[in-house]
Amino acid sequence: MLAAPLLFIPVLLRKSPILSVGDRSREPLDWARVQSARLLGFSVVMVAIASGGLGAFVLLMPVWAALVGLGIYGCLIRIGKSRRVR
């Protein structure tokens, strides 16, 4: 259960363009900034789990759930794309 955020690694390694647009500018979000936010969220969860144990895990449960959810979604998207290609 504590290793579940590792499912987020494929999301970190993804090179696809960002399709989301900014609220104010209506321009596509900067890929480097989005990637920085991904890395920050992942590293905070992993360091907290490694150093704080169960107490830190409970505090960061929403972030943990987001990382795991995005990781699972990314895996499902890749599986779907590979099945369509065949």
pTM of the full predicted structure? 0.68
Domain residue spans of the chain? 4-85
Residue with tokens 């399709």: 19
Reported as a single tens digit per residue, the pLDDT across 21-51 is 999 999 999 989 988 988 888 888 788 878 8
- Looking at the chain, the whole-number percentage of residues with pLDDT higher than 70 is 94
CA distance 28 to 84: 27
Reported as a single tens digit per residue, the pLDDT across 37-86 is 888 888 887 888 788 777 877 888 888 888 888 888 888 887 887 777 65
Structure tokens at 45: 């969860």
